[in-house]
Amino acid sequence: MRVLFVGDIVGEPGRKAVAQLVPRLRRSEQIDCVIANGENAAGGSGITGRTASEILGAGVDVITLGDHAWGQKEIMAYIPGEPRLLRPLNYPHGAPGRGSGLFQFPSQAPIVVINLQGRAFMGDLDNPFLCAEAEVARARAETPIIVVDMHAEATSEKMALARMLDGQVSAVLGTHTHVQTADEQILPGGTAFLTDAGFTGPHESVLGRRIEPIIKRFRTNLPQRFEVASDRVLLQGALIEIDSATGRALSIRRISEPLPHPPDGQGH
């Protein structure tokens, strides 16, 4: 099974990259399943029903979220009715939506996707390690193919989770920091790991936002509007090949695909 994991989609430029590049990558790389983190998809913070539908319509099979899951209020009513949209599993009981799901694809074993959020330097949610341990044990009774999005700030927290789950899941992909790391590897037990998948959106920026207000904030400590930037748009993430019978990862490759410039006179 070939799985494309797309790093954090940032605003309209990120959604545009998904719309143009995901269908092309599905064909050229013979991808069976596309998972994308969409927690910054709507205006750079949160996701709406409309933007979620846009991403799913572009060929993404599962959307994961993170600490900005509730950045757009309307998602509270939308998420319970869309099983392909996951929020972090370790939100307390009673939060709308769900943190994992089982998904079926033609001629392939089913896949379980689990979304977790770290606690170091982030919100005080339930312990992601204990939540992951219980959920992975349950998921392994259904399928050997399990992919985890660990949305966390601390690299050590992401690595520790991957080491704990090595041999029990197919892949652990880190999100949140928007900086793609160069440490893709297959751990000894057969789990593919990348500390951070990067982000899908404008890279002539500071983590997807316009540069000048960020600098001004650091210089003056005064409030600024952090608008989404627009230039040098990339789709970043990772392509993982998984043995469908065992769930072990066979390979992992970082992806960093530029959004092609439109021909002269056909857009900006």
CATH number of the domain where residue 37 is located: 3.60.21.10
Active site residue 68: yes
Q: What is the pLDDT of residues 60-89, one digit of tens each?
A: 999 999 999 999 999 999 999 999 999 999
Domain annotation covers residue 268? no
Strands (E), the chain: 2-6, 8-9, 33-37, 62-64, 100-103, 111-117, 145-151, 171-175, 185-186, 192-194, 199-202, 233-242, 249-258
Confirm whether 267 is domain-assigned. Answer: no
Number of domains in the chain: 1
Is 166 a domain residue?
Answer: yes
Residue 266 lies in a domain: no
Q: Is residue 265 part of a domain?
A: no
In this prediction, residue 265 carries a pLDDT of 46
pLDDT of residue 267: 47
Catalytic residue among 68, 176, 178, 203: 68
Q: Where are the beta strands (DSSP E) in 180-231?
A: 185-186, 192-194, 199-202
* Interacting residues of 18 by C-beta distance below 8 A, sequence separation 6+: 6, 9, 36, 55, 58, 59, 60, 200, 235
Q: For 158-184, how does the pLDDT look when each residue is reduced to its tens digit (9 = 90+)?
A: 999 999 999 999 999 999 999 999 999
Q: Return the sign of the alpha-carbon dihedral for residues 257, 180, 189, 104.
A: negative
Q: What is the pTM of this model?
A: 0.95
Domain assignment present for residue 162? The answer is yes
* 143 assigned to some structural domain: yes
pLDDT for the residue numbered 260: 87
Per-residue pLDDT of the chain (268 residues; tens, 9 = 90+): 999 999 999 999 999 999 999 999 999 999 999 999 999 999 889 999 999 999 999 999 999 999 999 999 999 999 999 999 999 999 999 999 999 999 998 878 999 999 999 999 998 899 999 999 999 999 999 999 999 999 999 999 999 999 999 999 999 999 999 999 999 999 999 999 999 999 999 999 999 999 999 999 999 999 999 999 999 999 999 999 999 999 999 999 999 999 987 655 444 4
User: Is residue 191 assigned to a domain?
Assistant: yes
Domain that holds residue 112: 2-258
In degrees rounded to 5, what are phi and psi of residue 137?
-60, -40
207: left (phi over 0), alpha (psi -120 to 50) or beta: left
